[in-house]
Structure 1
């Protein structure tokens, strides 16, 4: 068991950081334009990242991807996020995002169309799971699809969909049956220009990213876009663990950036005639931040390293998710504290970095849900959160 990065991994990280810094002006332009509803700079950024080899990091080379193992992919997502959140979001969503479900469940034709399109920077794909009455209880989703000839007709609604307005497709979780059970759930690729599809103007979250509501009103999609017609929820969630690890790596990148900024700041800022770094109380804060960052990275890298023979372990993913989300918040919060009043100001980056990691305790399964899953594994039981049906004791 080797806990050191290899020389080639370090070289890959350094080269990636240099490429990202060259793209920073366009990334900032794309972010500012996106908040105003202009996605042209985002499209240019997507294409330039594809040309630089910063998209589809773990997608197979036969479909135009870079073909990296998952560990290296997460290392680079962390690096890219550390440089810029817009770049980090694109790297994550084209590598460990919804496109992974197409790779696992799709036909050869679907892989050639969608995976290759993402790798070339031509299309973006969102993931549609959450509904107004189906958040943590994802299997309570009501969005339905029925097959009519060569088409699929979809009715329903999704909420909190990231980046949808700047994307071209949504990989949609929906019901193909009427039993009310998880076995009804499958997935389909919905083009955003499909008849009956509409997208809201979006709402800004505290990280400064827009999230959207998607509406399906007799939305008509080609049957050829179905990834899985039913009995697919377990497989979809298994693939989704890769997406969770990608999101975790983004949190690591933000936390690392906050730690490094605070570390530099305390060696430059002076009070009482001394550097802030001279005060033992602040040294202890820095030490705690470093310990948390190292532990968070090790848990994430372990989950990625153990995927050589398949998808990530649900237990290892949940353990990493819980620890990283908590540690990232604490690291970024301490960075704000170390900067004092300046840490609270928007002109300094640490308050933004805290806002970026705060959502990690909610999206991809709340920390409480993941703790339930961890406990269920430890106890060898299913910890159902559903209320007992009429006539059942609930014991």
Structure 2
């Protein structure tokens, strides 16, 4: 087993970092525009990234993607996130985001329209799973779709939808049946201009990204927009493991950025007439940060490398998720500590990196849910969290 990156992978990482550094001014404009509710700069950045081959990394070339293996895709998501979080989010959502479910489960017509549109930077697709009363208990969702002739009529609500106002569609998990069981759940592709859909004003999370509410009041979409009509929750979650790995790679990129900044800082900053790097206590912190970063990367790369034989392993994905989320928080927190008072200031980048990784312990399944799944695999049993009679 070879744990080293290939020469081609190293060249790809270096070229990607150089490209993203050149695009930083556009990324800053896009971020500031989003905060004002102006998404034109973001669309400009999206197109520039597409032209430079930074979107749809693992999407097939026949649909305008780069056709990279998942491992290479995650390496580049980490690299891009290290340079800038706005660009990291765009690459993640167009490579390992909701578009992956359309690629895996969609019709030829859906793939041609949505996968190609995303890879070319023409459109963005959000994912809609969480509801006010269905967070970790995702199968408790009540958003319902019913078929009426050539249309699907949707009622319900979703929350915490990332980039909804910057995107053009949402890949929506919803119920086609009325049994209340997971077998009712399927998915549809909802245009954001569909009648009966209202996108709320949203709230800003601690990473500075807005997340939105979606309200469906007899929202009507074409029947052709059905991605999976019921009995599809297992398939959707299997594909969702790729999205989890993309999110994990963003955490790695932020942790790497914090580590590299702190490493440089302690070699420049002096106290007591010596570099901070001369103090053994701080050297140990750096060493621990490096060990955590390397271990976190290897667990993520293992899960990605094994996708050559299919979709990501749920166990390997959960193991990577739990470790990376914890390690990334600790690495970013240590970077703040190494910078002292400056680390706590917004003028320095490390406090923002901590805020970026903190959500990783919640989104994509909380750490506690993933630990339950790991334990269930080890014990070969289904660890249901439902109260008796509620399954």
Aligning the two structures, in what range does the TM-score lie when normalised by the shorter sequence?
A: over 0.9
How much is the aligned-residue C-alpha RMSD, in angstroms? 0.8
The residue number in structure 1 matching 2:125 is 125
What does residue 362 of structure 1 align with? 362
Q: CA deviation at 1:348?
A: 0.1
Q: Which residue of structure 1 aligns with residue 82 of structure 2?
A: 82
* d(CA) in 2 for partners of 1:230, 1:141: 13
Aligned to 2:18: 18
Q: Does 1:195 align with 2:195?
A: yes
Within 1, Cα distance between the matches of 2:144 and 2:86?
33
Moved beyond 3 Å, runs of 4+: none
Q: Answer yes or no: is 1:386 the counterpart of 2:367.
A: no
Match of 1:249 in 2: 249
User: What's the offset of the Cα at 1:2?
Assistant: 0.3
Specify the alignment match of 1:91 in structure 2.
91
CA distance in 1, matches of 2:89, 2:38: 17
Q: CA deviation at 1:44?
A: 0.5
Unpaired segments of 5 or more residues in structure 1?
Answer: none
Q: Distance in 2 between matches of 1:201 and 1:69?
A: 37
Q: How does 1:294-373 map to 2 (within 5 A)?
A: 294-373=294-373
Deviations 1:279-317 (A, max 9, x none): 000000000000000000000000000000110000000
Name the counterpart of 2:53: 53
- Where in structure 2 are there 5+ consecutive unaligned residues? none
Alignment partner, residue 262 of structure 1: 262
The total of aligned residue pairs comes to 391
Whole-Å separation in 1 of the counterparts to 2:148 and 2:49: 39
CA distance in 1, matches of 2:260, 2:275: 16
Match of 1:209 in 2: 209
Q: Compute the TM-score of the two structures, normalised by the length of structure 1.
A: 0.98
Cα deviations across residues 144-170 of structure 1 (Å, max 9, x unaligned)?
000001000000000000011100000
Report the Cα distance in structure 1 between the residues aligned to 2:117 and 2:11, rounded to whole angstroms. Answer: 28
* SS of alignment partner, residue 152 of structure 1: strand
Query: Counterpart in 2 of 1:106?
Result: 106
1:181-210 Cα deviation digits (max 9, x unpaired): 000000000000000011011110000000
**CA–CA distance in structure 1, aligned partners of residues 225 and 48 of structure 2:** 28
Q: Which residue does the alignment assign to 2:42? A: 42
| Corresponding residue of 1:136 | 136
Q: CA deviation at 1:126?
A: 0.1
Q: Please report the TM-score for the alignment, with normalisation by the length of structure 2.
A: 0.99
CA distance in 2, matches of 1:202, 1:122: 23
SS at match of 2:16: helix
Distance (Å, rounded) in 2 between the aligned partners of 1:346 and 1:274: 26
Q: Provide the residue aligned with 1:291 in structure 2.
A: 291
Matches within 5 A, 1:215-254: 215-254=215-254
Aligned: 1:272 with 2:272: yes
What's the offset of the Cα at 1:379? 0.2
CA distance in 1, matches of 2:284, 2:389: 52
1:389 positional shift = 1.8
Query: What's 2:164 paired with?
Result: 164
> Per the alignment, in what secondary structure is the counterpart of residue 56 of structure 2?
coil
* Aligned counterpart, 2:33: 33
SS of residue paired to 2:173 = strand
- How far apart are residue 319 of structure 1 and its match? 0.1
CA deviation profile, 1:324-368 (whole Å, cap 9, x unmatched)? 000000000000000000000000000000000000000000000
* Distance in 2, Cα, partners of 1:111 & 1:200: 28
- Name the residue aligned to 2:147: 147
Q: State the shift of 1:240 in Å.
A: 0.2
Q: Aligned partners of 1:4 and 1:351: how far apart in 2?
A: 31
1:307 alignment partner, SS class: helix
